[in-house]
Chains A and B, each alone.
Chain A
Amino acid sequence: MLKYLILFGMFGLALLLLPVTQADEGPDLGPNLGKEATPEQIATWDISIAPDGEGLPNGSGTAIEGKVVYAISCLSCHGREGSGSLNNRLVGGHGSMSGSTPIKTVGSYWPYATTVFDYIRRAMPYNLSGTLTNEETYAVTAYLLFLNGIIDEDEIMDAQTLPQVQMPNRGNFVLAYPDNPDP
């Protein structure tokens, strides 16, 4: 690289700029074989939702609608009203964290309501993940929040309201990165 610059340096500044511009687009370490992704491509791939709600799609739903979604798509594995059966209990356990046997559910443990939407959309229903519509996902998220006593049955969950939901255990999480307070 140095040689290259010196060589071109003899021909003046204009030529010298050439390698500098290239370096700006991508360093010399790698062969630069990535193809630039288009906004449309990114939009279809990017399904993650940040705690501030970034990434939440259009659409909305309430617990009343979510009850129907739950009965069809979730009840067989998670039991009546999220009480747990074959798989995880999703409701209850509030206040159990400080006791000797914590019961960790969406209501008693999860710090962010956005995570509920994100997880259900990416991973549930377990045997057919990614098949719920955004409306159905908002609705069933609202239903789980309602069953946990966090929102009202008719409260509309959408990209604006969901990130505002205060999860009861939110204040009990401590970041252990970069410094673990409890090594």
Chain B
Amino acid sequence: MDNSESDSSALQAVAGNGLLHRRIFLTRGAALLGATGLGLLTPKLATAQTLPELSNVPGAALSEYGTRSVFEDSVKRNNILSYPGTTGSGGSWTPLESLEGIITPSALHFERHHSGIPAINPDTHQLLIHGLVKRPLLFSMDALCRYPMVSRIQFIECSGNSRVGWAPEPVQKSSGGLHGLLSCSEWTGVPLSILLDEAGVDPKANWILAEGADSAAMTRSVPLAKAMDDTLIAVYQNGEKLRPSNGYPIRLFLPGYEGNASVKWLRRIKVTAGPTMTRDETAEYTDTRPDGSSLMFTFPMEVKSIITAPSLGRPMQGAGLYEISGLAWSGAGKIARVDVSVDGGRTWGQAALSEPVLDKAFTRFRAAWRWNGGPAIIMSRAIDESGAVQPSREQFIASKGLKRDYHYNAIQNWKVAPNGKVSNVYA
């Protein structure tokens, strides 16, 4: 350390109960963090005096398709819940509390299916585009793959994500258990606008209907404006072809929209004048207001953030300097700012946003906290580039009521007990 004065200013408190200035991440980065002993929940390195064993014998063989370390086997999708009497219809949650950065490994991407995962052979699968078009067209998967593609890192969130926030008492689950119907991947595919242009969209058209090839033939109406804007026919996820559970061989991908509308196993797009009013945009995925009326087609996912560490299942290990790490995202665009409080929302400090900060993608944020070992309530609040601010649970319920099932985006609080245990609390 060459300048002890700037070190101490980097460790300056910005809010109550030991929240430090985000400068700690901006000025000196990892070096300073190392020097100040910051490093949340990383088990202390064993102070072994001898070299580890096994280093003098050759390791495992090369392999065609990699697997993770056996020591990571406990990192799994959780909450797996299928409708009564079924095995493939329901959801599995991404273990957000065990992941870092902004990319969700494909094998841990959340699942939400309505009639299981179909096994589709790409050699026989086709995409039909018809309806209000000049030329109805059928595309083989080989043909589709010859189209120009784009790649984007973007999140997808089920609109029912975090709905346990409406429960009268806080549900005690991990970050992923509460909010894990949420993942972020690099999606590569063909812009739908290119295919629609080739088919020649009729001026009377305002919507499209997208239909999947699963046994529920999942169907959603999507505004034509969105279809012509940034919608992809996604073929690749994180560099390899889509997983079957993510729509192999092709899925619709609607950046920022509620996940259900990004129809998987896509087989048909019908260009229409109005919405088709399918079951999953009328009976489901509609938002009931306090007066009993219901909103339909509430597509964009609202600005939101969660703290993934510390969190339930990732306890504190004694007083000291810690990194708070979390995720922020918004269907309206980029994350502009994330504030963190470690004193129950009385005072707030700005978190550092880790690059890259992308449109409609996860943004990883970090804050430094000198925990004095006392009880604390920690929380994060995201603000997106449209100026939308993530509400508190109190504000959210006051404006949206208790009858909704979808689009819950309120702030979630973790309570840290003096023994380091973390629990979910409302106040």
Binds B, one of A14-22, A44-52, A133-141: A44-52
Are the CB atoms of A176 and B217 closer together than 8 Å?
Answer: no
**Given A26-B198, A34-B139, A98-B291: A176 and B297 interface contact (C-beta under 8 Å):** yes
| Contact, CB under 8 Å: A172 / B139 | no
CB pair B279–A173 under 8 Å, yes or no, is no
**With the chains together, A110 CA to B291 CA distance in Å?**
17
Report chain A residues within 8 Å CB of B292.
97-99, 102, 172
A174 pairs with B211, CB closer than 8 A: no
- Convert B282-299 into 0s and 1s, putting 1 for each residue whose CB lies closer than 8 angstroms to a CB of A: 110011110111111111
Q: A34-B199, A47-B217, A129-B115 are in contact. Are A115 and B297 (CB under 8 A)?
A: no
Of B150-158, B266-274, B312-320, B416-424, the one with at least 4 CB within 8 A of chain A: B266-274
Q: In the complex, how many angstroms separate the beta carbon of B113 from the nearest chain A beta carbon?
A: 12
> For residue A36, which residues in chain B have a CB less than 8 angstroms away from its CB?
135-138
A123 & B137 in contact (Cβ 8 Å cutoff): no
B198 touches A48 (CB 8 A): no
Residue of A nearest to B280 (CB): A119
What is the CA–CA distance of A155 and B326 in the complex, to the nearest angstrom? 58
A-facing residues in B254-286 (Cβ within 8 Å): 267-268, 270, 272, 274, 276-279, 282-283, 286
Interface string of A98-127 (1 = CB under 8 A from B): 111010101001111011001100110010
Question: Does A50 lie within 8 Å of B138, measured CB to CB?
Answer: no
Give A122 to B143 CA distance when docked, in angstroms.
Answer: 28
Q: If the complex has contacts A119-B278, A173-B286, are A34 and B216 also in contact, measured as CB distance less than 8 A?
A: no
Given the complex of chains A and B, what is the CA–CA distance between A174 and B278 in angstroms? Answer: 15
Q: Are A46 and B199 in contact (CB under 8 A)?
A: no
Residues of B within 8 Å of A174, CB to CB, are 293-296
Interface pair B216/A104, CB less than 8 Å apart: no
Complex Cα spacing A182 to B78, Å: 33
What string of 1s and 0s marks CB contacts (under 8 Å) between A16-39 and chain B?
Answer: 000000000111011111111100
Closest to A104 in B: B283
CB distance from B374 to the nearest CB of A (A): 39
> CB distance B296 to A126 under 8 Å?
no
Contact A48 B298 (CB under 8 A): no
Tell me, yes or no, whether A68 is within 8 Å of chain B by CB: no
Q: How many residues of B contact A (CB 8 A)?
A: 62
B232 beta carbon closer than 8 Å to chain A? no
Distance in Å: Cβ of A173 to nearest Cβ of chain B: 5
What A residues does B211 contact at CB under 8 A? Answer: 47-48
**A58 proximal to B (CB < 8 A):** no
Contact B282 A111 (CB under 8 A): yes
Instruction: Tell me which of A25, A35, A123, A172 contacts B138 (CB under 8 A).
Output: A35
- Stretch from B81-89, B362-370, B376-384 forming part of the interface with A: B81-89
The CA-CA distance from A125 to B297 in the complex, in Å, is 27
Q: Is B16 an interface residue (CB 8 A)?
A: no
* Interface membership of B130, Cβ < 8 A: yes
8 Å CB interface, B205-247 against A: 209, 211, 215-217, 219, 223, 225
- Asked if B100 is at the interface of the complex by the 8 Å CB criterion, the answer is no
Indicate if B43 sits at the interface (CB-CB under 8 A).
no
**CA gap between A178 and B157 in the complex, in Å:** 20
- Chain B residues numbered 116-143 whose CB sits less than 8 Å from any CB in chain A: 128-130, 135-140, 143
Number of A residues, CB within 8 Å of B: 54
Q: Which of A100, A118, A182 contacts B279 (CB 8 A)?
A: A118
The residue that B143 contacts in the complex, of A34, A110, A115, A177, with Cβ under 8 A, is A34
Complex Cα–Cα for A31 and B143 (A): 9
For B296, what are the chain A residues with a Cβ–Cβ distance below 8 Å?
173-177
User: How many whole Å from A60's CB to the nearest CB in chain B?
Assistant: 22
- B282 surroundings in chain A (CB, below 8 A): 109-112, 115, 173
Contact A34 B217 (CB under 8 A): no
Min C-beta distance of B93 to chain A, whole Å? 22
Contact partner of B288 (CB less than 8 A), chosen from A31, A34, A97, A106, is: A97
> Any chain B CB within 8 A of the CB of A10?
no
Name the one of B135, B209, B294 contacting A172, with C-beta atoms under 8 angstroms.
B294
B128 and A42 contact, CB distance less than 8 A: yes
Does B44 reach chain A (CB closer than 8 Å)? no
| Residue of B with least CB distance to A101 | B403
Given A34-B143, A36-B135, A173-B286, the answer on whether A87 and B84 have CB atoms closer than 8 Å is yes
Most buried by A among B211, B295, B402: B295
Interface centre among A49, A86, A104, A176 (most CB of B within 10 A): A176
Contact residues of B with A, CB < 8 Å? 83-86, 89, 114-115, 128-130, 135-140, 143-144, 146-148, 194-195, 197-200, 209, 211, 215-217, 219, 223, 225, 267-268, 270, 272, 274, 276-279, 282-283, 286-289, 291-299, 400, 402-403
19 more A-B contacts (CB under 8 A) besides A36-B138, A48-B211, A122-B217? A29-B198, A31-B146, A31-B147, A32-B198, A33-B146, A33-B147, A34-B138, A35-B143, A48-B219, A50-B272, A97-B294, A114-B277, A118-B219, A119-B279, A122-B216, A130-B217, A173-B282, A173-B286, A174-B295
Which positions in A face B, CB cutoff 8 Å?
Answer: 25-27, 29-37, 41-42, 45-51, 77, 86-87, 97-100, 102, 104, 106, 109-112, 114-115, 118-119, 122-123, 126, 129-130, 172-178, 180-182
User: Nearest 9 CB-CB pairs, A to B?
Assistant: A34-B137, A98-B292, A97-B292, A33-B143, A177-B297, A119-B279, A122-B217, A37-B136, A176-B295
Can you name 10 A-B residue pairings with CB atoms under 8 Å?
A: A30-B195, A37-B128, A45-B128, A45-B268, A112-B282, A118-B279, A130-B215, A172-B294, A173-B296, A177-B223
